[in-house]
Amino acid sequence: MATGTQQEVDTQEEASSSKSQREVSSPKDSEIALSIKALAEESLQISELTEMERTYATEVIGLLKQVIEPLNNTFHIKPASLSKTDSSIQDVVLTPQTIVVVMHSTGTINSRPLESFSTEILMRIIAEVVPEAKRFLVEKRQKITGRVGSLEKIAREFRKLPTQGSAGGKQNRPPPSKNQAQLTSRAGDAEIPAGGQVPQDALKTTFAHLRPVMPNDWEKNPLSEKPTN
């Protein structure tokens, strides 16, 4: 009897201990489950935000290229903006095609497209390039404005000059040459019939004086005077 009673007591103690352990471990299991669920949600949001960050970064780089490429000007970037730990970086240049050229103190030169850098580095580069691009655009606008003003003044002065043919509608023509004057005078003396054909005698008289007639010229040019023997 004593043995049976002792076994029952031991069984009750084990059951009570198991129940206490379940009561103690249950809240922890719930917290772990909630934490795992939160991790999954955070990971999903991070994935979505990373994709959005990549998309916006690509768009920003494309828009930046549209601004700086027509300027055809390079931009110097602080080496610390690219890397705060690499002391070998001597100079960093951003080309109008948004290519980052990195020059090291060892003489090594590396080039990478801007979109290959992290968004953090991209933000630091943009913070330096945008004010510099603005300054360059303002200077370019001021130069163009000055040239436009000068051209406007020059055009206004040119408009004051008298144009050709403005005096009485007569144009200044160069005087005719001696041959042209003689040709006009001789052609004017010839009588042109109603049919519009000029007599050969008149033409011969007009053109014969221009050069001496050779013996063989008559066969080649019937308008010249035939030499007499």
Question: Is pLDDT of 113 > 90?
Answer: yes
- Which of 112-126, 141-155, 156-170 shows the lowest per-residue confidence on average (mean pLDDT)? 156-170
Arithmetic mean of pLDDT over the chain? 76
| Model-wide pTM > 0.75 | no
Tell me the CA end-to-end span of the chain in Å, nearest whole number. Answer: 181
Residue scoring higher pLDDT (210 or 95) = 95
pLDDT on residue 194: 47
Alpha-carbon distances, residue 17 vs 6, 7, 11, 13, 81 (angstroms): 17, 15, 10, 6, 62
- 168 residue type, one letter: G
> 185 pLDDT exceeds 90?
no
Q: Are 205 and 191 in contact (CB under 8 A)?
A: no
Q: What is the mean pLDDT of residues 88-98?
A: 94
**pLDDT given for residue 145 in this prediction:** 95
pLDDT over 70, % of the chain = 60
How far lies 131's CA from each of 70, 115, 135, 136, in Å?
16, 20, 6, 9
Distance between CA atoms of 18 and 12, rounded to whole angstroms? 10
Q: What pLDDT score does 38 carry?
A: 86
Q: How much is the average pLDDT of 167-187?
A: 54
192 pLDDT more than 90: no
pLDDT level of residue 134 (50, 70, 90 thresholds): very high
pLDDT reported for residue 190: 47
pLDDT at 75 over 60: yes
- Strand, helix or coil for residue 113: strand
Comparing 32 with 170, the larger pLDDT belongs to: 32
227 CB-side CA count, 13 A: 9
Rounded CA separation 100/111 (Å): 5
Least confident of 9-13, 57-61, 102-106, 119-123: 9-13
Residue 166, pLDDT > 70, answer no
Q: For residue 133, which amino acid is it?
A: A
